[in-house]
Structure formats: structure tokens, C-alpha cells
Amino acid sequence: MKEELLLSCSDLTVRFGGLTALDALELEVRAGEILGLIGPNGSGKTTFFNVITGIYRAAAGRVLFLNDELTAMTPQRIYGAGITRTFQRSRLALPLSVFDNLMIGNHRLLHHGLWFNLFRRSALRKEIEENLARARALVATFSARLAQRMFDAAGTFSMIDRRRIEICRALVSEPRLLLLDEPSAGMTLEETRELMDDLLAVRSRLPCLSIVIIEHEMGVIERVCGRCAVLNYGRKISEGAYAQIAADPQVQAAYLGTD
């Protein structure tokens, strides 16, 4: 059976003045896959994420997500369509609790507003309780210990736990596509292994979830990604399984080296 095409980019071009950050990029993401996105610094990887999530506008090209055109959508509409992300640098609200941080990422599924809060207090209480149970179950997939500290401030946790909270915040709205921008940045090798174990466990529980991961640690890419795409100067220079792209002379010259 042919895999469902979740997202496709054709002729995607982004320019900043005289600099072409993405140059007629062609890329597809299939339903249920983990796609690795690698390349040198400045090759266009994060720019690609920023276009997909509506932060940057493309100069040319199309992005289709489940047959919806994304290039003219606001970030809010793209989030509502089912695409979420994390950033290389933490965007957690550190003084807020784990639960509050997750609810920031969950507003698409929440129903309360001013009138709901004022006049439907029992329904509001039920919604909060249901969302707490759902958020706790999601966090427990990463760490049972973390799930018992849902009302502790995010700033009191270690780097790996903060990463777990960020990924949970991106997952709590039940997206179809999750974009991870260097999730292992700032972590030790052992912490990276733990986080990838967590990610694979979550992926096994959410088989319809697709993930695109930007990562410089090639051990992560080789372990978790079924397919990889390599960017250089905004162009895709190789695509395929990790062993295939690692043996590609263009990839070796541009990024991996020959040792």
C-alpha cells in the first residue's frame, strides 16, 4: 500500500535580500514517518521549518499539507491544521508550571472563553480535570517522575526534562506533523540517548504522527530516522536511508567528511 503523503513542497524558495536561503526546494513528508533533515549551518534547515509554520513567507513555490495550501496561512491557522514545532533554544515559560506550559500548547482543543468561564463553571472544572489527566498521561510516556510534578515550575527541571516538557507541549494538541529543531542541543550523549528512547516510545504509541527532526548528532539520525534529506546552500543534495546518504560523495564533501 502506498504511504499517505502528508506534506509536500515544490519549488520552495525563500530570499533575504540577495541571499537565497531555500532554492527551489522539493521535499515530501509521508504519514507516520520520521524524516531527518541534516546539513551544514546555514543550509536552510530552520528556514524550512519557519516557512512551514508561517513565520517566514516564501518568495515562490507551494507547500501542501493534507492538500491545504500553507504558504498564505497565518501561524495560528497552520497550528490549527495540525502542525506543531519545538525550537533549538528553549521557549518554555520557566516560572509557570509544567501543566500551564502544556496548556499554552493546547488552546486549539480548549473550549473555554470569558462566558464559558463565568457561567459554565462545572463544565470548566471538568475540562481542566480532563486536560490534566491527558497531559499527565502524555508526560508519563516520557517520565513517570515528571508526571508526578505537573504543578512544579518548569524552571526547576534539568535540561533533558525541559526538552521533554517542550516536546509534550508540542504534542498535547494532537498534531499530525511535529517539527523538532535540534532537540539534543545542550545535552550530554547519555541524555540524548534517553530523549531518543522517549521519542521512539511516543512514536510507537502515536503511529499516525509524522516527525521531521533537524539534528547534528548523526547517531540520532541513524537511529530514529527511516529517511533523511540533506540540504546545502538551500538545495536538497541527497535523500534516502542514512546509509545511502552517508555514502554519497556530495554529502561527504558538504557535511559529513570522508573519515
The length of the chain, given as a count of residues:
259
The rounded distance, in Å, linking the Cα atoms of 222 and 232 is 19
183: its cell numbers: 532537540
The rounded distance, in Å, linking the Cα atoms of 79 and 85 is 9
Class of domain 1-82+175-259: alpha beta
Locate CATH 3.40.50.300 in the chain.
Answer: 1-82+175-259
Q: What is the pLDDT of residues 93-142, one digit of tens each?
A: 999 999 999 988 876 555 555 445 555 556 667 777 887 888 999 999 88
The rounded distance, in Å, linking the Cα atoms of 248 and 259 is 13
> Looking at this protein, which amino acid is placed at residue 101?
N
The rounded distance, in Å, linking the Cα atoms of 21 and 253 is 20
Q: What per-residue confidence (pLDDT) applies to 104?
A: 85
Whether 3 has a pLDDT exceeding 90, the answer reads no
The rounded distance, in Å, linking the Cα atoms of 44 and 21 is 5
Q: What is the pLDDT of residues 144-169, one digit of tens each?
A: 999 999 999 999 999 999 999 999 99
Average pLDDT over residues 5-12: 95
247: its cell numbers: 555514502
The rounded distance, in Å, linking the Cα atoms of 113 and 88 is 32
**Cβ(180)–Cβ(86) below 8 Å:** yes
Beta-ladder partners of 36: 213, 228
**Cβ(66)–Cβ(231) below 8 Å:** no
**Cβ(131)–Cβ(168) below 8 Å:** no
